Amino acid sequence: MTSRSKRKGDGFEREIAEYLNARLFPGTRRARRAPLSGGGASFGVQNSDLGGGSADILGTPDVWIEAKRTERFTPYAAMEQAERGIKGQEAPEIPVVINRRNRVTTGDALVVMRFDGWLELYEAFLKQRGYVDDRGADEDEHGPSEYQRLKEALE
């Protein structure tokens, strides 16, 4: 990676951390860029075929953030990088890749996740809002919802 693109990537990681702190953790520096991220090593662990390194952003419970500031985004490669890190660290987090192109605001960056990871987050959100219970979608007076029937069919 050239020094210019590395600076751009490092800056994007700081940008994401600042944005998360402003939106989710006001008045704190809870979300932060991982030391030595972007260079393949964090906390003295080198990336390898077995994984390693850490998430690009620390302090974000339950999600492993891989940050990519690039015009030529390769989502599957970025996701695989996050998944290697998770495997190497034996971490329980859900992998999330955030990509921003030039001339795009931080809030308009894209978030890429595996569908099952997104469903896990969305289900938790629906439970918090009272739309689903611990069994899945609530039943109405007509019996199981379409979501519940689909969930049971897939099990």
User: Does one domain contain both 139 and 80?
Assistant: no
pLDDT of residue 53: 76
User: Does one domain contain both 105 and 148?
Assistant: no
By residue count, the chain amounts to: 155
pLDDT of residue 135: 65
36 in Cβ contact with 9 (< 8 Å): no
User: Does one domain contain both 133 and 104?
Assistant: no
User: Does one domain contain both 41 and 13?
Assistant: yes
pLDDT of residue 91: 95
User: Does one domain contain both 130 and 74?
Assistant: no
pLDDT of residue 3: 85
What's the domain count of the chain?
2
d(CA 108, CA 152): 36
Q: Which residues pair with 45 in a beta bridge?
A: 42
| Mean per-residue pLDDT pooled into runs of 10, the chain (155 residues) | 83 97 97 78 45 86 96 97 96 97 97 97 94 66 59 67
Q: Which domain holds residue 126?
A: 114-155
pLDDT of residue 36: 77
d(CA 14, CA 60): 14
C-alpha gyration radius of the chain? 18
Q: Which stretches does DSSP call E strand in 69-107?
A: 94-99
**Can you count the helices (H) and strands (E) in the chain?**
4, 9
User: Does one domain contain both 20 and 71?
Assistant: yes
67 in Cβ contact with 57 (< 8 Å): yes
pTM value surpassing 0.85: no
